[in-house]
């Protein structure tokens, strides 16, 4: 049982951490492209910003689904009696 | 109950668990029982139902009141705010929806305002509503309906039903099935390749089926995950004693962005999905 609890914690940490890693890199690239585009054509900046937030929320989804599953295992793991 | 002012013997973990538990009523052997509902299918999360119904009525009441008393001469501040919201939703629908539908704009407005109002409940300090409820004798209260996975799945399954309904209505049942089985690889209809057609159709169906099912699942889990994580962080910060005040403020300011963004994204994705359900080829 200790082993299962230990592995459970490890799984939760990996879920949240790897999700954050991927999303962090993705958002960094996205923000960089947005800044480049806004520097190139400042009058388009508001429109680009709206689209950027759209993609940010879509990227968030993947990280959040991982966090949701991780929190489920953290608090209500069905394998731990 | 473990949460009361008399006993200060509550551990941090119990505090967290208490704040993450819904007020549940379920049918146990024919009797309606409050609590002890783990694993029971006939369970109702009374707090989520209550808050989502009340917030829906608040939205309808205020928007109807403004619509009835709308004047072009001297608009009130509430009317200006409502006009702002409706203009924003109208702009979004016009940008993203390429079809003819009388349903889409009111649906988007409802989704946006309702999800926004439900999410904004997360900004009320963590203990206020559960303490007020405990004073009246209600043991558990979760004030934010969108942290309940049932509420978000209810909304996304409704949108999913609308997607399928409009797909079948616009393209016909045959057209809808064709879209699921003939994309992305067109099965060969002439020559020797026709032997492979069933396998290609099955392959297409699996791909398109997963893509179709991913829509409601991701729509609801996105909203649920964001809101649940936000609420959990509020609860965790509340355990810090006096140091919680600056942290609560900082996180709440960030959470305002997340709340509005998630409502906007839910609405935007609904519009985009329904637009692709409406589009007929050639």
Write down the domain spans for chain A: 2-74
Measured from the Cβ of residue B10, the count of other Cβ atoms closer than 10 Å reads: 13
Q: Which pLDDT belongs to residue B7?
A: 47
Question: Running DSSP on this structure, what letter comes out for residue B188?
Answer: P
Q: How far apart are CA B22 and CA B139, in angstroms?
A: 9
Question: Running DSSP on this structure, what letter comes out for residue B187?
Answer: P
Tokens of A31: 């923000």
Q: Which pLDDT belongs to residue A81?
A: 66
Check CB contact of B203 with chain A, cutoff 8 Å: no
Q: Which pLDDT belongs to residue A46?
A: 86
Cβ pair A63, A20 in contact under 8 A: yes
Beta carbons of B261 and A57 less than 8 Å apart: yes
Best residue of A5, A16, A60 to probe chain B, by most B CBs closer than 10 Å: A60
Q: Which pLDDT belongs to residue B268?
A: 92
Q: Which residue of A has its CA nearest to B266?
A: A57
Burial class (CB in 10 A: 0-12, 13-18, 19+), B281: exposed
Q: Which pLDDT belongs to residue A51?
A: 86
Q: Which pLDDT belongs to residue B40?
A: 77
Enumerate residue ranges in chain B where pLDDT < 70.
1-9, 281-282
Kindly list the domain boundaries of chain B, sorted by start residue: 49-132+149-278
Enumerate residue ranges in chain A where pLDDT < 50.
none
What part of B 132-171 touches A (C-beta under 8 Å)? none
pTM (2 decimals)? 0.85
Fold of A2-74: F1FO ATP Synthase (1.20.20)
Q: Which pLDDT belongs to residue B4?
A: 43
Q: Which pLDDT belongs to residue B111?
A: 95
Greatest alpha-carbon pair distance for chain B in Å reads 83
Check CB contact of B233 with chain A, cutoff 8 Å: no
Beta carbons of B222 and A53 less than 8 Å apart: no
Where do we find the tokens 């409820």?
Answer: B133
Q: Which pLDDT belongs to residue A15?
A: 94
């Amino acid at each position: 049982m200790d082993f299962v609890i230990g592995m459970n914690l490890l799984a939760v940490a990996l879920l949240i951490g790897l999700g954050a890693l991927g999303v962090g890199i993705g958002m960094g690239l996205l923000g960089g492209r947005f800044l480049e585009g806004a520097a190139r054509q400042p009058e388009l900046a508001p429109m680009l910003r709206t689209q950027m937030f759209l993609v940010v929320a879509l990227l968030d989804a993947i990280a959040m689904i991982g966090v949701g599953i991780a929190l489920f295992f953290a608090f209500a793991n069905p394998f731990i009696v | 109950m473990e949460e009361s002012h008399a006993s200060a013997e509550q551990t941090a973990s119990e505090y967290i668990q208490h704040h993450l538990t819904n007020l549940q009523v379920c049918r146990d052997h024919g009797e309606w029982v409050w609590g002890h509902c783990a694993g029971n299918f006939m369970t109702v999360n009374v707090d989520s139902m209550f808050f989502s119904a009340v917030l829906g009525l608040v939205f309808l009441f205020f928007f109807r009141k403004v619509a009835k008393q709308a004047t072009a001469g001297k608009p009130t501040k509430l009317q200006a705010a409502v006009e702002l919201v409706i203009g924003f939703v109208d702009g979004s629908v016009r940008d993203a929806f390429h079809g003819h539908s009388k349903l889409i704009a009111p649906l988007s407005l409802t989704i946006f305002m309702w999800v926004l109002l439900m999410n904004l409940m997360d900004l009320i300090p963590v203990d206020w509503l559960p303490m007020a409820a405990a004073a009246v004798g209600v043991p558990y209260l979760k004030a934010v309906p969108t942290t309940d996975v049932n509420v978000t799945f209810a909304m996304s399954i409704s949108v999913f039903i609308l997607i399928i309904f409009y797909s079948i209505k616009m393209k016909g049942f045959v057209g809808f099935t064709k879209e699921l089985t003939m994309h992305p690889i067109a099965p060969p209809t002439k020559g020797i390749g026709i032997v492979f057609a069933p396998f290609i159709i099955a392959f297409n169906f699996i791909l398109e089926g997963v893509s179709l099912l991913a829509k409601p699942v991701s729509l609801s889990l996105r909203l649920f995950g964001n809101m649940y994580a936000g609420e959990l962080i509020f609860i965790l910060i509340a355990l810090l004693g006096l140091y919680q005040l600056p942290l609560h403020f900082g996180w709440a300011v960030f959470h305002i962005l997340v709340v509005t963004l998630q409502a906007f994204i839910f609405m935007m994705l609904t519009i985009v999905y329904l637009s692709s359900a409406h589009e007929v080829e050639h």
